[in-house]
Amino acid sequence: MTTVSTQFVELTADEFRTRLREALAIYVEAMRYPPGTAEQRAPMWLTHALRDGWRCYAALDGDGTMLGVAYGYRGSPGQWWHEQVRRGLVKNSGEQAATHWLDDYFELTEIHVRPRSQAGGIGENLLRRLLDGVPNQHVLLSTPEGTSRAWKLYRRVGFVDVLRDYHFAGDPRPFAILGRTLPLERAAE
């Protein structure tokens, strides 16, 4: 369960820019990336905040310290991730599958919770808040292959395999592309 003192807030693009360093620190810690990764990712994250349909939620503790962050936007042709996934889908499943998934989707770009704050419902709460009211037909995300808390969360809320063991250009790790139709069902009370 989420602790009583955890607050979930929607961040504007300006608030996101102000808290970017803190959000990237969570990303690096949660993904176990090497130091320096945050500086490489910062320009990309700032560019994402300018995209159509961008929205962001953060989980804050009682002191206002960020415990988790999630953001995404409307995916569209010409975006790097869209083109990479389209290529993989056409190759593995055909044009019809690519059109089905990529015609009208929200890209859940990032969702991360500090490791010490994981397993308390923060990730699911962020995911549900981020996707609540999203007007797109589908939501898509990519996640490294392998069992993790994130995988369990995605399966629990109904994400299915769209493309497995996919290798993005420039990354040797295999990824899964997961998706589901929107809206999400309401969480059980």
> What separation in angstroms does the CA of 184 have from each of 23, 91, 97, 146?
25, 29, 21, 24
CB-count exposure of residue 178 (10 Å: 0-12, 13-18, 19+): buried
Catalytic residues: 154
Q: Residue type at 137?
A: Q
In whole angstroms, give the CA distance from residue 182 to residue 184: 5
Q: Is residue 115 reached through a cis peptide bond, with omega within 30 degrees of 0 on the bond before it?
A: no
Give which of 68, 58, 65 is closest to 10, Cα–Cα: 58
Residue indicated by tokens 């929107």: 182
Nearest 5°: the CA angle 29, 31, 36 is 65
